[in-house]
């Protein structure tokens, strides 16, 4: 399989596959005649694993580590995997928390404003921002 066919099979672009290779997520054999990258069906499985990891919110760096474990399950422990997942979960929770704070502020601001067509001189959003909420 050449890169275009792998890309087709996995619904990604060839650019993405080359990018993942550069980042150390996938390797490729080369056709010695023309230098073309060559893949097997196990690379489809690998690309699908990567896509599932992304759906779960893992970064490419996380995924590189998860792939190493996945391809060498006997040399890794559940602890290794769980630690990785917990660290990502924690980062997501931190982001979620600050996003929720921001959401609350914006929601309050939006609700306070009449949204009318008259001058913004009396706008409660502007005065709330001015005062720092």
Residues found near DNA in the complex (CB under 7 A): 2-5, 7, 12-16, 18-20, 28, 31, 33-37, 54, 59-61
Strand partners, 37: 30
Name the minimum Å distance from CB 112 to Zn ion.
7
Residue number with CB closer to a copy of itself (34 or 72)? 72
| Three-state secondary structure call for residue 38 | strand
CB 66 within 8 A of CB 78: no
> Is the torsion defined by CA of 3, 6, 7, 8 positive or negative?
positive
Burial class (CB in 10 A: 0-12, 13-18, 19+), 76: middle
Question: Which strand (E) or helix (H) includes residue 30?
Answer: strand 29-30
Q: Site map for a copy of itself, 68-107, x if CB under 8 A? A: -xx--xx-xxxxxxxx-xx-xx--xx-xx--xx-xx-xxx
For Zn ion, the binding residues in 66-85 under the rule CB under 5 A are: 78, 81
Residues that bind a copy of itself (CB under 8 A): 48-49, 51-53, 55-57, 66, 69-70, 73-74, 76-83, 85-86, 88-89, 92-93, 95-96, 99-100, 102-103, 105-107, 109-110, 113-123, 125-126, 129-133
């Amino acid at each position: 399989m050449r890169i275009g066919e792998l890309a087709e099979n996995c619904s990604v672009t060839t650019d993405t596959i080359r990018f993942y290779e550069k980042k150390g997520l996938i390797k490729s054999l080369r056709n010695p005649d023309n230098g073309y990258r060559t893949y097997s069906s196990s690379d489809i499985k690998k690309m699908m694993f990567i896509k599932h990891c992304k759906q779960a919110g893992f970064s490419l760096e996380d995924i590189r580590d998860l792939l190493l474990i996945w391809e060498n399950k006997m040399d890794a422990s559940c602890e290794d995997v769980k630690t990785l997942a917990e660290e990502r979960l924690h980062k997501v929770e931190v982001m979620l928390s600050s996003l929720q704070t921001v959401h609350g502020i914006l929601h309050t601001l939006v609700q306070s404003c009449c949204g009318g067509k008259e001058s913004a001189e009396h706008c409660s959003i502007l005065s709330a921002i001015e005062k720092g909420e």
